[in-house]
Structure 1
Amino acid sequence: MSGLDNRNAETRAIITGGTQGIGFAIADALADEGSKALALVGRSQEKGDKAVARLKERGVDAIFISADVAKVEDCRRAVETALGHFGTMNALVNAAATSARGSLVDTTEDLFDTIFATNVKGPFFLMQGLVKHLLERKAPGSIVNVLSMSAHAGQSFLTPYSTSKGALMTLTKNVANAYRGNRIRCNAVLPGWMDTEGEALVQKKWHGASDDWLEKAEAAQPMGQLVKPAQLARLVSYMVSPQSGVMTGSLVDYDQNIAGSFPD
């Protein structure tokens, strides 16, 4: 442990998309800040086993739950499995998402449904499961949803994706308002273009990117880099922790490009 402040010593979190990218970076940050109970949700057993092994080496009671967050029954099972193993949970990070491409005119019904099932319906029912548990125990808790700067508008080839993140943005504020009197907080981060394993695959699949796409992309950014998961993870771990106090309903842009701004 780095000895930051042990601020997440009592945090018992479910993290979707927790086996790689921003999801695992958040799990790693929580472990570094004292959390000893982490449930990682994902679809790849191989990645899940590796991620859990890394956390267990640091003394964390970590489990992997194989689940597709696009399926409500899997979301409910994920919460039930975590509760069955740990007894109680008090935090949820919805980091899993699909950023499949589609414009207004070329998005099929199946693609639209897939994106909304993964990016909206899944988080909705995971939040429902945790909040019900917290209400039954009359216990405080914290939820952080990982959105995207695309929730503000998005590019033309991200129409259903951007719309789904906008829906999750509204859901974040609705839940925050509904359960603030129960000490259940709900916040969100909106990262910009991020350097992850998944983004590398997206760039090559959808945009025909070359192997040096990251170097070129970062050279064109105002601060010379894309968003780094390890950096963003510390903000999320703070928002999850009790140290963030009464913070709820907050939508925090995390980017070097400013929503609503234009070149001089």
Structure 2
Amino acid sequence: MGLLDDKVVLVNGGSQGVGAAVARAAVREGAVVAVTGRRPGPGEALVAELTAAGGKALYVRADLSDAGQAKASVARVVETYGRIDCLVNSAGLTSRGTLLDTTPELFDQHVAINLKGPFFAMQAAVADMVAREAPGTIVNIITSSAHGGQPFLAPYVAAKAGLIGLTRNAAHAHRWDRVRINGLNIGWTATEGEDATQRAFHEAGDDWREEAAAKLPMGKLGQPDEIAEFVVFLLSDRSGVVTGSVIDWDQNVLGGLD
């Protein structure tokens, strides 16, 4: 018996990085999985990989900065499989901006992808769960930077901190519907997107992962597969009644000083 046997799981932003790792882990645990992404190539390749391994998977093309497309991704899953049991919001924008140089356009991009998209995907998913009077689970992938973060992440921090508030608000609002909603504040993680960000904004070379790992307490960056296992646990009944929790999945301790 898998932790997610026969569950229908939607992973928004699931075509690469942490989202793709979550999709793989969910399929291994018996779930039917749908993944969204803007680019068909990676999404369709992941679905082909999952189905070749014996899983059942669906790719839904969606730009999650558009609230209508975020809601439509849930509608597509419900139309295809009859319901949605679990939602993971893992799409994210990490482009740089400080308080002084962030433009209104950049700020709006961060809010659209990091907050508005998750809001309306959650709205659609919870509406299906409530209409069916069925329990469900949601996990929002947030960031440890939401506690304050680096100066060059001002719009990212603002939007992700909003997602923390939304996670707790929605969890409180729908606990009597047996819909559990939790968040994960992940730290520095080795993903394709992070590699592109380091090269684009920090002039990183091919060895940036090794250099970064050497400066971290555990000697490595966060690994998507490890995060995925924790997300599956939160989605599953194994995590019990936990709801409204935003967990720091990081190797730095908030408030700790050397």
TM-score (norm 1): 0.96
Give the letter for the 1:88 counterpart: R
Note if 1:23 corresponds to 2:24.
no
What is the alpha-carbon distance in structure 1 between the residues aligned to residue 47 and residue 136 of structure 2? Answer: 23
Of residues 69, 74, 78, the one that matches 1:79 is 74
Structure 1 residue matching 2:190: 3-state secondary structure:
coil
User: For the Cα contact (< 8 Å) 2:93–2:114, is it kept in 1?
Assistant: yes
Displacement of 1:241: 0.7
Note if 1:12 corresponds to 2:8.
yes
Of residues 253, 257, 263, the one that matches 2:252 is 257
Displacement of 1:200: 0.4
User: For the Cα contact (< 8 Å) 1:14–1:92, is it kept in 2?
Assistant: yes
Aligned partner of 1:215 in structure 2 is 210
Count of aligned residue pairs for this structure pair: 258
Displacement of 1:10: 2.9
What is the alpha-carbon distance in structure 1 between the residues aligned to residue 199 and residue 75 of structure 2? Answer: 37
What is the alpha-carbon distance in structure 2 between the residues aligned to residue 31 and residue 38 of structure 1? Answer: 7
Give the letter for the 2:27 counterpart: A
Note if 1:119 corresponds to 2:114.
yes
Give the letter for the 1:205 counterpart: A
Aligned partner of 1:70 in structure 2 is 65
Cα RMSD of the aligned pairs, angstroms, is 0.8
What is the alpha-carbon distance in structure 2 between the residues aligned to residue 114 and residue 184 of structure 1? Answer: 29
Displacement of 1:33: 1.1
User: For the Cα contact (< 8 Å) 2:27–2:56, is it kept in 1?
Assistant: no
Q: What is the aligned-residue identity percentage?
A: 41
Structure 2 residue matching 1:28: 3-state secondary structure:
helix
Displacement of 1:59: 2.2
The CA deviation string for residues 179-228 of structure 1, in whole angstroms up to 9 with x for no partner, is 00010000001110000011000000011111111110001111100000
Displacement of 1:61: 1.8
Aligned partner of 1:237 in structure 2 is 232
Unaligned runs of 5+ in 1: none
- Where do residues 40-189 of structure 1 align in structure 2 (5 Å cutoff)? 40-189=35-184
Displacement of 1:11: 1.9
Displacement of 1:46: 0.6
User: For the Cα contact (< 8 Å) 1:11–1:241, is it kept in 2?
Assistant: no
Aligned partner of 1:197 in structure 2 is 192
Unaligned runs of 5+ in 2: none
Give the letter for the 2:129 counterpart: L
Give the letter for the 2:170 counterpart: V
Structure 2 residue matching 1:210: 3-state secondary structure:
coil
Displacement of 1:32: 1.2
TM-score (norm 2): 0.98
What is the alpha-carbon distance in structure 1 between the residues aligned to residue 23 and residue 118 of structure 2? Answer: 17
Displacement of 1:58: 2.3
Aligned partner of 2:33 in structure 1 is 38
> Where has structure 1 moved over 3 Å in runs of 4 or more?
none
What is the alpha-carbon distance in structure 1 between the residues aligned to residue 205 and residue 53 of structure 2? Answer: 37
